[in-house]
Chains A and B, each alone.
Chain A
Amino acid sequence: MERKKNSLVELAKILVFALIIMVSFAGYAKFGIPLVIPAPPPVEEKITGAVTMDQMIAMGDKIFHGKGTCTLCHSPVGGRAPLLEQIGTNGPARLKDSRYKGKAKTVYQYIIESEKDPSAYVVAGFGKPGTNDTVSPMPMTNKGAIGLSDFELDCVAAWLLKTGGLPLAEIKPPTGGAAAGAAAAGAAPEEIKPAATAEEAFNKFGCPTCHKVPGLPEGGDVGPDLTKVVKLAKTRKPGMSAEAYIFESITAPNSYVVKGFDKDVMPGDFAQKMTVSEITLITKALLGEK
């Protein structure tokens, strides 16, 4: 009986000792290491309506720093890949380089080519070891884990060209949901009908691309969160009603820019594109009215 008692006591001691060690490790993971929240699974940037060049640039910025995982390498830390801020001067120089064997004639084409076929031109010193800079370690961004669509690749190119101070004329922003789809398929664009519901209106004008919008599951963070505008709208400008503020924000976005966001990002031509009924639908939805 003494032997059994002895064993159980030792077992209990060992178990408590093991628990203390385990909890110490878990505690260190919780309190000793900064919390890094991995990015949520990426969602494809969908073209839900007319998209302006500014919106494309903003989306390109977002993709470059997020879903595209470009900054894993194209950043000053580690020096794993060329820095792309200098694309304005480096881009034309790459095309003239005797080592360049690709098909691009312009910097825009060069960017798209590099996104789809990174080994078409490898910057000296950044090739896979042992390949004499003929094979790039960069994955094809239109395939595999990154899997950007053509539209998303264009957005990244737009952002890079803008960053490098190069012309954006080659990039054609989609002109609307049905129109964009038809244009992509090479067919004649159809006449766009006015939105019948608030949800249709939001999607038609691409609001969720930059904003979180009430009633829609997904939204961007380039612009302010519009699910909170119902509470904040009447406090933005003293003496201005919530309804008037929203109307002004749609038709003249720069008249009041929420702190923490930049001017000139939101397109200023919605007054020309939206019908009265569409503005009304959107305003009511933002104010929580049926």
Chain B
Amino acid sequence: MRIESMLFKQKKFFTRLRPAVCGTAVFLAFMLALPAMTVKTTGVAGALWGEMSVQAASAAEAPAAAPAAAPAAAPAKKDEKAAAKAEKGPEEYKPITPPKLELKDYPKIKGFNSRITVWFIAQLHLFFGAFVLGVPIFVWVIEAVGYKTKDERYDNMAHEFMKVAMTGFSLAASFGGLLSIALVVFYPHFMQYMASVFGKVMIYYALFFFVESFFVYTYYYGWDKMSSGKDKLIHLGLGIGLNGAGLMLMALSNSWAAFMMAPSGLDESGAFAGDVWAAMHSHLWNPLNIHRFIANIAYGGSLTASYAAFKFLTANTPEEKAHYDWMGYTSFFVSMFGMLPLPFAGYWLMKEVYDYSQQMGITLMGGAFAWLFILQAVLIGAIFLSANYYLWCSLGRSNGSARYTFMIKPMAVIIVTAFLMWLTPHTLVMTSQEITKIGGAHHPLLGKFGVMAAKNTAVNTLIIMTFCSFQIFKRSNIRATGKGFWAQYGTTVQIGLYVAALTNIFFLGIWSYYIPASTRIGLSVPQVTTTLMVAVLSSVFDVFIFKSNEELGPPKWGSMPVRSQYALFTLTVAFTWLMGLMGYVRSAIRQHWHIYTVFRDNSADAFTPTLPYAAAIVTGIVCIFIALVLFMFWMPILASKGNGAEEH
């Protein structure tokens, strides 16, 4: 009853819901209509998609466009199942073959380039999607911390994070609707085939939007009503529902992206054999799910950090500044919490790409896209540098920071060296005279930094140093006063841990130069494990150390310099640009295939874009996104002018 009254008695309820509902409705309408292409429908949907259904039927009878690749048939067990299902006979299931398209089969809309239009919309949808899937995860955690500690500040902050995310929901849904329209308009045959394979999944996907919408609105608008006692537990339950529905939406849509890269559930001729689960469960589905799940948290954190930075810069009172400084720090912490394991999730994804298709893996890392990863290193380096800069500025908040500032310079040197090592290419672009002088395409010294042995060592060092910066910031506000073991020797144990870890990482890095490539690849695992061990063990040690020592007073929230807030903006922009770049490479690695090895792209845009071309497009997309995000941040201020005061 209380939820009901909360939902329907608030005056502004429907007004607040309108934009989000409109966006969601458009998206839902298209997602529900898509599968209608492949089933015999009547009424409006039948009239709308009737022509496509005929095309789908004729496409099913057309000869195979291209035989399936070995990788497409790689998960033998699943494909046996798919083949067995197909063998049951035409009465039960008719295999669907991807059509062989020609240039004339791709609609042309004057004034629009099909690929660029879809590229812009899809990437914007992904940015907002990642944001709104990531934020509720840590909002729920912060709310749970507030509930457990009875500290209302956590609860208020979690609520404010959710407020920021709410505008993102309607924008994500609007771009999702637009993307569905764009795909149907520009790539009708492709969408027809995808719907013929994933029709059932698309319907579930659309239905999950209802579930997601239910939870998101009850969770956000029920916050104040369900703020204490058992109601709070119900509210936390709603948060679990919201995150569960969000994860399900992400996993379902990831299955389509993974299928396009590494198709499965197909028979020898490349025809879909009728087992939707086999098609969903492609080789790259789970690595993609894990990678995106972690990245969403990191990205959500970076965007809310930017929100807090904006509010910090526009704050009028010391209290406001203190509040948004704390909010910015928490968001930054969340972002780094996601960022630190992200390279390892990326490694796993790449390993699975190699396992699926060595040809795809090598094209990615050693072929046409190899230089892209140098740019990626620059971007991740920019993220880590800005993160460390923010942490070093954070020392100013602590009461005993003067004891640790001497460490900043040597740490900066190590981080910059690791960064430079990471972005050093293996093969240099030189004139023939330069090659003659050097004696080859590899520089005698720098060439050694261009291989994975050096890069793995560099990235692990970078992560360990960033974690060290964070620990120094935490440590700067305590004084050793206790007499127990952890009070007296805790720091020594931690220093020993760091030294041992770095020694191990460097030893493995150097050793890997002297062993065969197949063994060398395996050494990245103990290096990563060492880094994670440092993060986990050192955090556990911190708990004991903090218990045995005295705090030097509360942190001076609000005392951060303006430039530190720009470090947070750098983090967000670099992260967004990086996501755009990786979106490009994930798509481009399919090269001239809509669905790799199965459904060929014969449009005028089948060529693989060069890196500068992609960078220009990504910059355009990120510009629009940042402008929209800033507008999203500014809207509440505009609204508060009308209401007389801004809510906090």
Instruction: State how many angstroms separate the Cβ of B616 from the closest Cβ of chain A.
Output: 6
CB of B587 within 8 A of chain A?
Answer: no
Q: Which of B353-372 contact A (CB under 8 A)?
A: 357-360, 362-363, 366-368, 370-371
Q: Mark A24-46, 1 if CB is under 8 A from B, else 0.
A: 01101110011111111110000
CB of A240 within 8 A of chain B?
Answer: no
Residues of B with C-beta under 8 A to A140:
69-70
- B contact residues, total (Cβ < 8 Å): 67
CA distance A36 to B616 in the complex (A): 15
Q: Which chain B residue lies CB-closest to A75? A: B366
Instruction: State how many angstroms separate the Cβ of B100 from the closest Cβ of chain A.
Output: 12
Q: Which chain B residue lies CB-closest to A30? A: B612
CA distance A138 to B425 in the complex (A): 26
Residues of A with C-beta under 8 A to B360:
145
CA distance A144 to B607 in the complex (A): 18
Given A23-B619, A36-B610, A145-B591, the answer on whether A28 and B375 have CB atoms closer than 8 Å is yes
Q: Are the C-beta atoms of B518 and A129 separated by less than 8 Å? A: yes
Residues of B with C-beta under 8 A to A80:
358, 362, 517
Instruction: State how many angstroms separate the Cβ of B79 from the closest Cβ of chain A.
Output: 14
CB of A79 within 8 A of chain B?
Answer: yes
Given A3-B641, A33-B371, A72-B366, the answer on whether A139 and B69 have CB atoms closer than 8 Å is yes
Q: Is the interface of A mostly helix, strand, loop or mixed?
A: loop
Q: Are the C-beta atoms of B517 and A78 separated by less than 8 Å? A: yes
Q: Are the C-beta atoms of A145 and B611 separated by less than 8 Å? A: no
CB of B411 within 8 A of chain A?
Answer: no
Q: Mark B577-600, 1 if CB is under 8 A from A, else 0.
A: 100000000001001110011000
Residues of A with C-beta under 8 A to B17:
none
Q: Are the C-beta atoms of B611 and A35 separated by less than 8 Å? A: yes
CB of B26 within 8 A of chain A?
Answer: no
Given A36-B610, A140-B69, the answer on whether A14 and B619 have CB atoms closer than 8 Å is no
Q: Mark B308-351, 1 if CB is under 8 A from A, else 0.
A: 00100110100000000000000000000000000000000000
Instruction: State how many angstroms separate the Cβ of B37 from the closest Cβ of chain A.
Output: 27
Q: Which of A116-154 contact B (CB under 8 A)?
A: 125, 129, 137-140, 142-147
Given A25-B619, A36-B371, A38-B368, the answer on whether A18 and B626 have CB atoms closer than 8 Å is yes
Q: Are the C-beta atoms of A79 and B597 separated by less than 8 Å? A: no
Q: Mark A152-194, 1 if CB is under 8 A from B, else 0.
A: 0000000000000000000000000000000000000000000
CB of A7 within 8 A of chain B?
Answer: yes
Q: Mark B452-469, 1 if CB is under 8 A from A, else 0.
A: 000000000000000000
Given A38-B610, A80-B362, A140-B70, the answer on whether A29 and B375 have CB atoms closer than 8 Å is yes
Residues of B with C-beta under 8 A to A129:
518
Q: Mark A240-266, 1 if CB is under 8 A from B, else 0.
A: 000000000000000000000000000
CB of B420 within 8 A of chain A?
Answer: no
Instruction: State how many angstroms separate the Cβ of A119 from the closest Cβ of chain B.
Output: 9
Residues of B with C-beta under 8 A to A21:
382, 570, 573-574, 577
Q: Are the C-beta atoms of A72 and B363 separated by less than 8 Å? A: yes
Residues of A with C-beta under 8 A to B72:
144
Q: Mark A1-22, 1 if CB is under 8 A from B, else 0.
A: 0011011101100110111011
CB of B71 within 8 A of chain A?
Answer: yes
Q: Are the C-beta atoms of B371 and A6 separated by less than 8 Å? A: no
Residues of A with C-beta under 8 A to B607:
38, 40-41
CB of A77 within 8 A of chain B?
Answer: yes
CA distance A143 to B598 in the complex (A): 10
Q: Are the C-beta atoms of B313 and A10 separated by less than 8 Å? A: yes
CB of B106 within 8 A of chain A?
Answer: no
CA distance A144 to B574 in the complex (A): 36
Residues of B with C-beta under 8 A to A143:
66-70, 597
CA distance A35 to B429 in the complex (A): 10
CA distance A78 to B573 in the complex (A): 35
Q: Are the C-beta atoms of A17 and B566 separated by less than 8 Å? A: yes
CB of A69 within 8 A of chain B?
Answer: yes
Q: List 20 A-B contacts (CB under 8 A).
A: A3-B314, A11-B630, A21-B573, A22-B577, A22-B619, A25-B615, A28-B378, A29-B614, A30-B612, A30-B615, A33-B375, A41-B606, A78-B362, A80-B362, A138-B358, A139-B71, A140-B69, A145-B69, A145-B360, A147-B67
7 more contacts with CB within 8 A, not counting A18-B626, A30-B615, A144-B69, are A17-B566, A21-B382, A22-B619, A33-B374, A35-B612, A77-B366, A147-B66
7 closest cross-chain pairs (CB), A and B = A144-B69, A29-B615, A41-B592, A38-B608, A144-B597, A34-B429, A137-B358
Chain B: residues with CB nearer than 8 A to chain A? Answer: 66-72, 310, 313-314, 316, 357-360, 362-363, 366-368, 370-371, 374-375, 378-379, 382, 427, 429, 516-518, 566, 569-570, 573-574, 577, 588, 591-593, 596-597, 601, 606-612, 614-616, 618-619, 622-623, 626-627, 630, 633-634, 637-638, 641
